[in-house]
Structure 1
Amino acid sequence: MTEMLFRADAYRRDAAARVTGWTDEGGVILDQSIFYPTSGGQPGDAGWLEWDTNRLPVATTVKGQGEDIVLVPAEPQPLPPVGAYVQQVLDWERRYRHMRVHTALHLLSVVIPFGVTGGQISSTYGRLDFDMPEAPEDRDQIAEALNGFVSEDARVSDGWMTAEELAAAPHLVKTMAVKPPVGAGQVRLVRIGEADDWIDLQPCGGTHVARTGEIGALRLGKIEKKGRQNRRVYIHLDG
């Protein structure tokens, strides 16, 4: 089982770790990871591993067996030996942009209050698919509301509740096709705003910025029809 260091501190850019195994495909498994694995529409992290005089570029990160996190090398080359101690270094600029986009999508789910049927995150834009028959009429109003939340510089924090508590509060789950990640009967909640005055509160396992002001200016992109009941809405980082 890989300890998820990114869960405790999404801003951590490097950390020591020990190699606990390899996959048959040539991936590297560590005892603890600052690399986020592809999940929930958020891409896996990239970066590199260093040990002795060696440097192994990491192209992406995925989930492995059980609770393992697998680092996928960018090219075939010798892997660090099992048991070796390595230094893991994150492609921080890419990760930070993912954090900004991911947090912005939480805000989009507030501004457009329909069930979410899908989503995707990149380093420059994100999109959500909504269970809504008609496209929103006022694009300017959506963009203004999004950037208003950014300007509030609201705090983003996380907490936990049990699976039973979440089952008793189904309104917190916005995703219609994907169940919230449940580990050891616990569900991670991401809150935007304060406990007694929150903007958004929903289950999420991804990485986010600490305050909405870090997102920066947002631009509303295309709104596409994706089936009779679905509309796909794009948002873009302006910088």
Structure 2
Amino acid sequence: GRGAPRRGAAHVEMGPQGKRWPKWKQRRDNSGDDVTEENRAKKLHHGVKCIRKALKKARTFEGRKIQRRATQAAAATMTPTSANKVDAAKLSTQLAAARALDVDALGAHVGEKTLRAVLRGEDAPSAAEALPATNDSETKASSKAVGAAAVKAAGTTAALVVARRVLAAACVREEINALQEKLALVGDRQEWAKGRLAREEARRRAKEDEKAKKEAAREEAQREREEAKRRTTSRGPGDVDAQVDDVDDDVDDDEDEE
């Protein structure tokens, strides 16, 4: 086809996105700079966007579930009892809270909570841990996270109950866990990058040591060859004549003794 590679062309390794790194674009070297905070900010920004998208999906699902339960409660009996009236009113309040829930503020709140947990070496907070209400300060922060509109429409308690259910949705937890893994990985990659110079220096020293050992071995072999050559040269005709003269002297001495 038109886009098919030419026969005999060299195979080109592609990157994770199916594209090669441009030759004109210089790769960034993070080995000398600590860019952990910068990279974490980028990961946090993208992770919060994904969490907000999941929160919108979970909010829609929660609203439909509450609406279905309210319809079933209304059609349960033709003459509703006081208990049914209370239940219907409660569901109506929760439905108003779900529709008014501020997913942007809630996503940013959960993202910051996840970042703090990663910095402490802990897991991402659960739905209840992300929106606590044990004291006034925590209740105020949690109310701000769910949004003033939700608190106004349903009250603080109902708004927090609905928000926790939305946060506990599987799609939201999946994005929160993914953000946690990315934030934790940033620090590991930075430590690896900062140690690259030390690893390169260690490899350079190892190569120099290996080169020095090979050079010493070559010099030793050269000395042995020269020594062997010197011993061979000393065994020439002159050395043989000297040995013959020694033998003749020994023979003359024996004849004199006789």
> Common fold, TM-score beyond 0.5?
no
The TM-score with structure 1 as length reference comes to 0.21
**Greater relative contact order (CA < 8 Å, ≥ 6 in sequence):** 2
- Give the number of the structure whose alpha-carbon radius of gyration is greater: 2
Higher strand fraction (1 or 2): 1
Higher helix fraction (1 or 2): 2
